[in-house]
Chain A
Amino acid sequence: MVKWTRSLNTKLVASFVLIIVITSSLSFFYTYEEARSQLNQSAREKLMEVAGAMSTQISGDALLSLKQGDENTSTYTSIIAELRNMRANSADIQNMYTMKLVGDKVYFIVDDSDDDPSAIGQLYAEPELTQIKEAMTSPSASPSFYSDEFGTYMSGYAPIKDANGTTVAILGVDVTAVATLQQIDNVRNSTAMIIVASVVIGTMIILLFSLTLIRDIKKMNAAAEKISTGDMTASIDIKRKDEVGELADSFSRMIASLKIEMMMRDEEGLDQREAEAVAAEKK
């Protein structure tokens, strides 16, 4: 009896399961990364579109007229009302603000934050300078979602123009990643479920195939064992049309030939057995 650790069955199943797991894992990571990248790109494009559309609703001339300490003026109030009104139309938008780029410094003009809004002229401590500079000519967005202590966000930027069509400020729109992260989670979970199911089904198929193969090999082994101990009643009952079936046929012919040779040495016994077979057939 072969130890199960050395059994062909164990080796076959382990090898195939390993192959399935490796292939599935690679598929999973590729699919997940591809989906994440696509959803990220889709979120960027949508954000740039939204920021571009919203920036046209803000008057660049009105923004330019605001100076430090103008937070209580009607111009400031109407701009902030406009920003909040636009924000209210989209559940994903967390914050909207306008900025002015001076050299490599970015200063807030109007910030619609509900809690502790930035004051007019306040320096933006860590701006996405590349994207903000890009937004001087056309809408731009963060390359991917970023996380801070308030959550995971992506920011979109678009130019705000004055009456002459000159870019005088930038609109910033922060959106939460909740919806996109949820979609990424869904893709990950669905892919993982499909892969787990594939591994389970694949393993079952391999196990079944392996068991039938081993069963037939065991039959041949049992017949060979019988012949080796001089038991000529051994026969092989294997009905397969593959290579194992061919091997079984060859094995069967070999056994039959051995039996013939051995029986011929005992012709009287053979006569007796044939007579019994004829009698049995007549019954």
Chain B
Amino acid sequence: MSTCSDEAVSITQKFLGPSSKTFLERQTRSHMNGLDLNNLERAHLPELAKWVQISAGLLIEKPKAAELAALLVKI
């Protein structure tokens, strides 16, 4: 895994728990042209954050999802 994806998983775990990796893998695969999470780079982060905010908003409180997205952009 890239450093970037490690950090993304680590941050996301604080909001979504142990299934965060599965969640991020789905975001990159389904919404970022089949991108493998292991190949995540900084340039992908704004797009990933956008989808995380939308999808995580279905799982947790929307303000929390927005907070997660903001942290991902800052990696």
Contacts and interface: CB of A to CB of B under 8 A. Distances in A.
Interface residues of B, number: 21
14 contacts: A235-B59, A237-B61, A252-B64, A253-B13, A253-B16, A254-B17, A257-B18, A260-B59, A261-B19, A261-B22, A267-B26, A270-B26, A277-B54, A281-B54
A278 interface: yes
B61 A253 contact: no
Interface string B1-27: 000000000000111111110110010
A256 B16 CA distance: 5
Given A260-B22, A261-B22, A264-B26, A253 B58 contact: no
Q: Tell me the dominant secondary structure on chain A's binding face.
A: helix
B34 interface: no
A274 B18 contact: no
Nearest to B64: A252
Interface string A57-76: 00000000000000000000
B54 A260 contact: no
A105 interface: no
B60 A235 contact: yes
Contacts of A277: 54-55, 57-58
B39 interface: no
Contacts of A257: 16-20
A271 B18 CA distance: 21
A281 B51 CA distance: 12
A259 B55 CA distance: 11
Given A256-B15, A259-B59, A260-B20, 5 more contacts: A235-B59, A252-B60, A261-B22, A274-B58, A277-B57
A270 B54 CA distance: 12
A273 interface: yes
B60 A260 contact: no
B59 A256 contact: yes
Nearest to A258: B19
A236 B63 CA distance: 12
Contacts of B38: none
